[in-house]
A = this chain, B = another copy of it.
Amino acid sequence: MNAQDVILGMLQKRSYSGYELKHYFESVFSFFFDASFGTIYPTLSRMEQLGYITKESIQQDNRPNKNIYTITDRGQEQFRLYLSSGIEKQTFRSDLLMRLYFGEFVERDVVIKWLQDELQEREKKLAQLEADKFCNEADKNMTATQRICIQIGIESSRTMVRVLSESITSLENL
């Protein structure tokens, strides 16, 4: 799975500009995927050249022009190809956990500070996911699998919040 596969998936439902795609990546997908503008724009250009998508330039008043991209038959085929390929194993990389592993080399207070900052981050993310779930449930816009997707994000975040809180307490009582 790379940025191209994800963009093809998004364009199955409707057309998007690069700027709009980025917003979706930041809200719905942020739990398990991310891509910056430095990836999105060049990827869209390449996809257009490969004939997977077509571009339509929209003139706007008081705003910069927009490029709206639409998927082609070739793009559809490419997306099916992705879906039939083997699933890549997930990757998780955490600087915090690595530092925690080497925690004996820093002051206890520093470690606690690290954990508190992370806890705050996780709580924010959890709130975001729950708000997102609420929005979409109200809209009845969600498929069964999308609901599972967001549920996994929420439950994982809750677990992290809980374990981080417990860990901070246990370190403070040391």
In the complex, are the beta carbons of A12 and B102 less than 8 A apart? Answer: yes
At the interface, yes or no: A148 with Cβ under 8 Å from chain B?
yes
- Residue A21 interfacial (CB < 8 Å): no
The residues of B that contact A94 with a CB separation of less than 8 Å are 32-33, 90
Interface residue? A109 (CB, 8 A): no
Name A12's closest neighbour in chain B (CB-CB).
B105
Residues of B within 8 A of A27 (CB): none
* A93-118 vs B, Cβ < 8 Å mask (1 yes, 0 no): 11111111111111000010010011
Give bound CA distance, A146 to B103, whole Å. Answer: 7
Please tell me if A68 contacts chain B, counting CB pairs below 8 Å. Answer: no
Interface residue? A143 (CB, 8 A):
yes
- Interface stretch among A37-45, A50-58, A150-158? A150-158
Stoichiometry (number of copies) = 2
Are B174 and A144 closer than 8 Å at their CB atoms?
yes
Q: A90-B92, A167-B151 are in contact. Are A83 and B97 (CB under 8 A)?
A: no
Counting CB contacts under 8 A, is A135 at the interface? no
Pick 9 A–B contacts, CB within 8 A, sort by A: A31-B97, A32-B94, A33-B94, A83-B105, A91-B92, A97-B149, A103-B143, A144-B171, A156-B159
By a beta-carbon cutoff of 8 Å, the part of chain A in contact with chain B is: 1, 5-6, 9, 12, 28-29, 31-34, 79, 83, 87-106, 111, 114, 117-118, 121, 143-146, 148-149, 151-153, 155-156, 158-160, 162-164, 167, 170-171, 174
Q: 9 smallest A-B Cβ distances: which pairs?
A: A103-B145, A88-B95, A32-B94, A32-B97, A1-B95, A90-B94, A159-B159, A148-B167, A9-B102
